[in-house]
């Protein structure tokens, strides 16, 4: 007899014995091993509270194939050490071969076995198609990557095995790794940013991964130790070409270390293997800074100090949390959190902090109104700005701290209409200026070193295959770029890796390995960086309404990431400092979203456009 997978209680752990095991009130009469007759499919039910912990139970004697499949799928969602209970549903050989740490398939909802198919004579047993809609993958490096929702189909095969009480059904073939529904994934896993350094520079770069919320079933490590281990393992494959770690190659935790503890002085001691024993103090301090950055938002206890130890237990170096920023200074916006916009006279101006304040045009050529401005970008040090002319033909650059220097024209487009000319510009944290020329006859992505040199063409690999760059935003660390790509009337969001080779004054720049960042959205209207590995976007899903929401660069977005609704939003901007309010252009004018409040109008409709933070 089949049994449906049960929804979980919101009051605490649901022990599956109440459904599948022991007393077996639901399963009375199912004790005999079926030799003939129909095999029924087991259907998945919707998930309940994602914060509830699940304890798995082994199969009962005489369990049917559908019960074995249901029990195994449920056991995959538990925290059982080494997935020991899940392995009891497998044949002896498969229990040894199965590697749940190999990766995870994430489905929109719990995997649902289809109708069972009896095996043929040459392959006796039962096949269960495993069905669902795949939304993401997680690889062996813990790197999550969202994909366009796609039908998922795999097969679980069962056969009879010799057990202590006679023949018993067990799984002898299954997909590699784990297959989890989205709510189970979010219940069991926690997003963490590992931190490395931009290659050849002192900028820290976030490398987002997912670790287990509690103990990792395979390594038996707690979240702090998991995070440090993942950091030592090195950057994920996608980010690796543009970052570096100061941990020597081969550095690991000292053999046997499964837990790192924080003492009563909030100091974390990290014992390392022999690979790190001879590093110098400057390199060691940067290693400690990488750990402090990585653990900053993870531990419920503030870590005030990291002490790295040699394999013999002697001290390698100590770094206090107050010193960490000195080892990776950010090229971020001014601390006062200035916001800029184009006023109704076409001038670059400071956005007022209150709706009743009068905006102040910036000093210099861009604040006079003599060059009517369209889209703008302010460098992160707020000494210089770039602006596209209202007709989109020219890109101007001028200082905004003095009135002496004139504006310089860096780029001119030959596009025949405004929409086929220059995009909004963007400054990276290196001080370089980016813009796209959308002229169909000569589409180009361009970068100017320091915003002062003739623009260099940027290669894109692979080619865009007819898609057009509608807009772009470069990350503060300069290693990643967010591109809005238009094709067939839709605009999609992709993230590319920025690779630089050659001399600093004339580098060869390539945007490589584009990957989707919002595949669940049919179209994206606007995007801005909103932290080390987070974006804020305006867009909508197929058949849905417009949303403003946060999305990780790997495409992960939880239901709680959706922001309050906004009337007719066409643009959004965020600061590198995540504590600063969002700013958007909406049907009500320029609006701001302070923490814990709703959207507030700061510039009425028609009185301003193109709001931006530096960047």
Tens digit of pLDDT for each residue in 593-612?
998 899 999 999 999 999 99
Q: At what angle do helices 223-233 and 281-295 cross, to 10 degrees?
A: 130
Q: Are residues 33 and 73 in the same domain?
A: yes
Give the H/E segment covering residue 227: helix 223-233
Going by the DSSP 8-state scheme, the letter that residue 368 receives in this structure is S
- Residue 25 is predicted with a pLDDT of 31
Residue 127 in contact with residue 119, Cβ under 8 Å?
yes
Residue 129's pLDDT band (cuts 50, 70, 90): very high
- Give every CB contact of residue 272 below 8 A, 6+ residues apart in sequence: 232, 251, 252, 253, 254, 308, 309, 310, 311, 316
Higher per-residue pLDDT: 495 or 29: 495
Residue 108 in contact with residue 182, Cβ under 8 Å?
yes
Minimum mean pLDDT range among 196-205, 291-300, 332-341, 380-389: 332-341
Within-domain flag for 607: yes
Q: Are residues 319 and 346 in the same domain?
A: no
Residue 227 in contact with residue 294, Cβ under 8 Å?
yes
Q: Which of 292, 327, 362 is the last residue of a domain?
A: 327
Q: Which of 300, 327, 354 is the last residue of a domain?
A: 327
Report CA torsion sign: 359, 364, 365, 366: negative
Residue 161 in contact with residue 68, Cβ under 8 Å?
no
- Give every CB contact of residue 357 below 8 A, 6+ residues apart in sequence: none
In this prediction, what percent of the chain has a pLDDT beyond 90? Answer: 75
Q: Are residues 300 and 359 in the same domain?
A: no
C-alpha closest to that of 137 among 516, 481, 530, 531? 516
Q: Are residues 233 and 95 in the same domain?
A: no
Give the H/E segment covering residue 292: helix 281-295
d(CA 475, CA 340): 18
What CATH number is attached to the domain comprising 540? 2.120.10.30
Residue 120's pLDDT band (cuts 50, 70, 90): low
3-state secondary structure of 491: strand
- Residue 259 is predicted with a pLDDT of 94
Q: Are residues 301 and 344 in the same domain?
A: no
Q: Are residues 394 and 540 in the same domain?
A: yes
Pairing of β 104-107 and β 178-181: parallel
- Residue 547 is predicted with a pLDDT of 93
**How many residues does this entry show for the chain?**
615
Distance from chain centroid for Cα 581: 21
Q: Are residues 346 and 299 in the same domain?
A: no
SS (H, E, C) 398-437: EECCCCCCCCEEEEECCCCCHHHCECCCEECCCCCEEEEE
Q: Average pLDDT, whole number, for the chain?
A: 88
Q: Are residues 171 and 320 in the same domain?
A: no
**Six-digit token pair at 507?**
């580098």
Q: Is a pLDDT exceeding 90 seen at residue 306?
A: yes
- Residue 448 is predicted with a pLDDT of 97
Residue 47 sits at φ, ψ, to 5 deg, of -80, 155
Within-domain flag for 32: yes
Q: Is a pLDDT exceeding 90 seen at residue 60?
A: yes
Residue 205 in contact with residue 498, Cβ under 8 Å?
no
Number of helices and strands (H, E) in the chain? 7, 38
**Six-digit token pair at 239?**
């980010």
The model's pLDDT over 142-154, given as tens digits with 9 standing for 90+, comes to 999 999 999 999 9
pLDDT, mean of residues 66-78: 95
d(CA 549, CA 293): 25
- Residue 544 is predicted with a pLDDT of 87
Within-domain flag for 208: no
- Residue 328 is predicted with a pLDDT of 74
- Residue 327 is predicted with a pLDDT of 79
Alpha helices in 90-199 (DSSP H): 92-97, 182-188
The model's pLDDT over 230-243, given as tens digits with 9 standing for 90+, comes to 999 999 999 999 99
Number of structural domains the chain divides into:
3
Higher per-residue pLDDT: 15 or 539: 539
pLDDT, mean of residues 489-503: 95
Q: Is a pLDDT exceeding 50 seen at residue 483?
A: yes
Within-domain flag for 5: no
Q: Are residues 391 and 417 in the same domain?
A: yes
Residue 558's pLDDT band (cuts 50, 70, 90): confident
Q: Find out whether the peptide bond into 375 is cis, omega within 30 degrees of 0.
A: no
- Residue 19 is predicted with a pLDDT of 31
Q: Which of 282, 301, 327 is the last residue of a domain?
A: 327
Within-domain flag for 87: yes
Q: Are residues 161 and 57 in the same domain?
A: yes
Minimum mean pLDDT range among 112-126, 192-206, 225-239: 112-126
Q: Are residues 306 and 354 in the same domain?
A: no
Residue 79 in contact with residue 221, Cβ under 8 Å?
no
Higher per-residue pLDDT: 55 or 225: 225
Q: Is a pLDDT exceeding 60 seen at residue 48?
A: no
pLDDT, mean of residues 118-131: 78
Whole domain around residue 233: which residue ranges?
A: 215-327
Please return the burial class of 254, using the count of CB atoms within 10 Å of its CB with bins 0-12, 13-18 and 19+.
middle
The model's pLDDT over 323-381, given as tens digits with 9 standing for 90+, comes to 888 877 665 444 557 999 999 999 999 998 776 678 899 999 999 999 999 999 999 99
Within-domain flag for 191: no
342, HSE (Cβ side, Cα atoms, 13 Å) = 23
Give the helix, strand, coil percentages of the chain, each rounded to 5.
15, 35, 50
- Residue 330 is predicted with a pLDDT of 60
3-state secondary structure of 93: helix
Q: Are residues 287 and 154 in the same domain?
A: no
Residue 205's pLDDT band (cuts 50, 70, 90): very high
Within-domain flag for 207: no
- Residue 24 is predicted with a pLDDT of 34
Residue 12's pLDDT band (cuts 50, 70, 90): very low
**Six-digit token pair at 567?**
């009337």
Minimum mean pLDDT range among 122-136, 467-481, 489-503: 122-136
Within-domain flag for 425: yes
Pairing of β 204-212 and β 243-244: unpaired
- Residue 31 is predicted with a pLDDT of 33
- Residue 217 is predicted with a pLDDT of 94
**Does the model's pTM come out above 0.85?**
yes
pLDDT, mean of residues 187-191: 95
Residue 214 in contact with residue 231, Cβ under 8 Å?
no
């Amino acid at each position: 007899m089949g049994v449906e997978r049960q929804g979980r209680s919101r009051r605490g752990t649901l022990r599956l014995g109440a459904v599948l095991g022991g007393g077996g009130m639901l399963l009375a009469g199912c004790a005999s091993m079926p030799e003939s007759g129909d095999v029924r499919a087991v259907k998945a039910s919707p998930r309940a509270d994602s914060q509830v912990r699940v304890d798995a139970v082994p199969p009962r004697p005489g369990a049917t194939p559908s019960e074995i499949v249901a029990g195994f799928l449920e056991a995959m969602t538990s925290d059982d050490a080494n997935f020991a209970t899940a392995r009891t549903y497998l044949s002896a050989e498969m229990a040894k071969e199965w590697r749940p740490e190999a990766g995870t398939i994430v489905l929109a909802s719990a995997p649902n076995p289809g109708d069972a198919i009896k095996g043929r004579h040459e392959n006796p047993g039962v096949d269960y198609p495993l069905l669902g809609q795949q939304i993401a993958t997680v690889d062996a490096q813990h790197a999550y990557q969202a994909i366009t929702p796609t039908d998922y189909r795999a097969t679980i095969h069962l056969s009879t095995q010799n057990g202590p009480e006679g023949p018993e059904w067990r799984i002898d073939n299954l997909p590699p790794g784990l297959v989890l529904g989205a709510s189970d994934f979010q219940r069991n896993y926690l997003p963490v940013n590992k931190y490395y350094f931009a290659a050849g520079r002192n900028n820290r770069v976030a490398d987002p991964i997912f670790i287990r919320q509690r103990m990792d079933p395979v390594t038996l490590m707690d979240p702090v130790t998991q995070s440090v281990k993942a950091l030592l393992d090195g950057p994920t494959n996608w980010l690796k070409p543009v970052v570096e770690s100061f941990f020597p190659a081969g550095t690991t935790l000292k053999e046997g270390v499964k837990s790192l503890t924080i003492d009563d002085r909030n100091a974390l001691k990290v014992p390392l293997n022999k690979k790190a024993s001879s590093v110098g103090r400057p390199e060691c301090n940067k290693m400690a800074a990488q750990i402090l950055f990585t653990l900053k938002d993870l531990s419920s206890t503030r870590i005030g100090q990291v002490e790295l130890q040699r394999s013999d237990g002697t001290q390698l170096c100590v770094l206090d949390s107050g010193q960490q920023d000195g080892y990776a200074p950010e090229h971020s916006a001014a601390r006062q959190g200035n916001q800029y916009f184009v006023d109704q006279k076409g001038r670059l101006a400071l956005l007022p902090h209150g709706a009743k304040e009068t905006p102040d045009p910036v000093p210099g050529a861009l604040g006079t109104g003599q060059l009517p401005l369209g889209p703008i970008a302010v460098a992160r040090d707020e000494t210089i700005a770039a602006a596209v002319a209202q007709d989109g033909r020219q890109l101007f650059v001028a200082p905004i701290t003095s009135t002496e220097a004139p504006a310089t024209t860096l780029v001119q487009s030959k596009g025949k209409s405004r929409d086929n000319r220059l995009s909004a510009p963007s400054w990276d944290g290196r001080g370089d200026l980016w813009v796209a020329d959308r002229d169909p006859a000569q589409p180009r992505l361009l970068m100017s070193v320091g915003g002062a040199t003739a623009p260099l063409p940027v290669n894109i690999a692979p080619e865009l295959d007819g898609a057009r760059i509608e807009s772009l935003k470069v990350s503060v660390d300069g290693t990643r770029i967010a591109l809005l790509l238009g094709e067939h009337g839709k605009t999609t969001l992709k993230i590319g890796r920025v690779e630089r080779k050659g001399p600093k004054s004339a580098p060869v720049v390539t945007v490589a390995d584009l990957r989707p960042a919002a595949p669940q959205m049919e179209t994206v209207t606007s995007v801005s960086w909103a932290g080390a590995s987070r974006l804020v976007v305006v867009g909508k899903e197929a058949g849905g309404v417009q949303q403003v929401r946060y999305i990780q660069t790997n495409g992960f977005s939880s239901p709680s990431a959706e922001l309050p609704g906004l009337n007719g939003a066409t643009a959004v901007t965020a600061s590198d400092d995540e504590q600063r309010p969002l700013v958007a252009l909406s049907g009500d004018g320029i609006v701001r979203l302070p923490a814990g409040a709703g959207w507030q109008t700061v510039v009425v409709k028609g009185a301003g456009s193109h709001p931006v933070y530096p960047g």
